[in-house]
Structure 1
C-alpha cells in the first residue's frame, strides 16, 4: 500500500536469494543439498554471467549471460507495468 511496503517486500525476497547463491562463496565448497538450490537460484546465474563478462575465465558461460539478461527483462516486463497501474489507481 506504500512505497515502504514495496521496498520491504523486495528486500525480504532478495536477501535470502543473495545469501543462498554463489555470490559469496564457491559452489564447490557447499554441502550437497545447498548446491542443488544454488545451481537453480536466479541470482547465481546473474553472478556467473557478470563474472564471465568481467573476467572471462570464471565458470560462467555465454549462456549464463543470456539467462541473466532474459531473466532481468522478464522481471522488468512483469513488474514495471503492474507498478505503474498500481500507482495510477492509488493516486487517481
Structure 2
C-alpha cells in the first residue's frame, strides 16, 4: 500500500474512479439475503466496461452492475483505512 500514500502529507490517496481501467481486478461487497438472515461478502471481479458512474464486473459466471463508490482496486486501501489514518487532500 506504499504507492497509495502521499509523499507530502503521509496520508492515503483516495481512489479515483477514472483510474480504474478495463480488465483491472476490483473488490466490492455483495449482500446475500435469506429467509432468516442477511450477510455480505467481499467479491473479487474483473472490470468489463464502464458506463458513467457504474461498472460492469464479472466474477466467474456472475455479472454485477456496481457503482464506482462501492468498489476499489484490489491493492487499494479500504474505507476504514482513510478513517483511521486520514485522507490526502494535497493537489
What TM-score results when the alignment is normalised by the length of structure 1?
A: 0.27
Higher strand share goes to which structure? 2
Higher relative contact order (CA 8 A, sep 6+): 2
Higher helix share goes to which structure? 1
State which structure, 1 or 2, has the greater radius of gyration over its C-alpha atoms: 1
